Homo-oligomer: A and B are copies of this chain.
Amino acid sequence: MNITLSQAEKLISAAQEKARAIDCKMNIAVVDGGANLVAFARMDGAWLGSLDISIKKAKTARFFDMNSGEIGNLSQPGGSLYNIEHSNGGLITFPGGIPVKNADGEIIGAIGVSGSSVENDHAVAEAGASSL
């Protein structure tokens, strides 16, 4: 089960709406079950460096089927997954990446958002992920 482009566009639209509501300019990426990009949008004036980060957050969330920030809790110095970020061509392990599930609770992809504080990034990703 993979997310469709139509679903991915719905996620990006909902995420953008949330971003505007909290006055943020975001990069928003959606990947499918194979962790490959399906849709992407960079809002006008959003940080350029957040382009890659948003995609890596989405991939990270699908790679391990959990929020990107949960990985970050384990990858700190002394943590059990210290420096896991060196795998898979580079992970981003702070908040903003969330797995996306269908109505049956199956993971069909993930969304990654970057462009503001990690709290805002997560909130915008959540708005996207919960829009299906």
Interface residues of A (CB under 8 A from B): 4-6, 8-9, 32-44, 47-53, 56, 59-60, 62-65, 72, 75-78, 80-95, 117-118
Contact = CB atoms under 8 A, between A and B. Distances in A.
Copies held by the complex: 4
22 contacts: A5-B41, A5-B42, A32-B34, A33-B34, A34-B35, A35-B49, A37-B40, A37-B42, A38-B42, A47-B63, A49-B64, A50-B64, A52-B89, A56-B86, A72-B82, A75-B83, A80-B94, A83-B85, A83-B94, A85-B86, A86-B86, A87-B92
**Which of A41, A76, A91: most chain B Cβ within 10 A?**
A41
6 tightest A-B contacts by CB? A34-B34, A49-B63, A40-B40, A86-B90, A83-B85, A85-B86
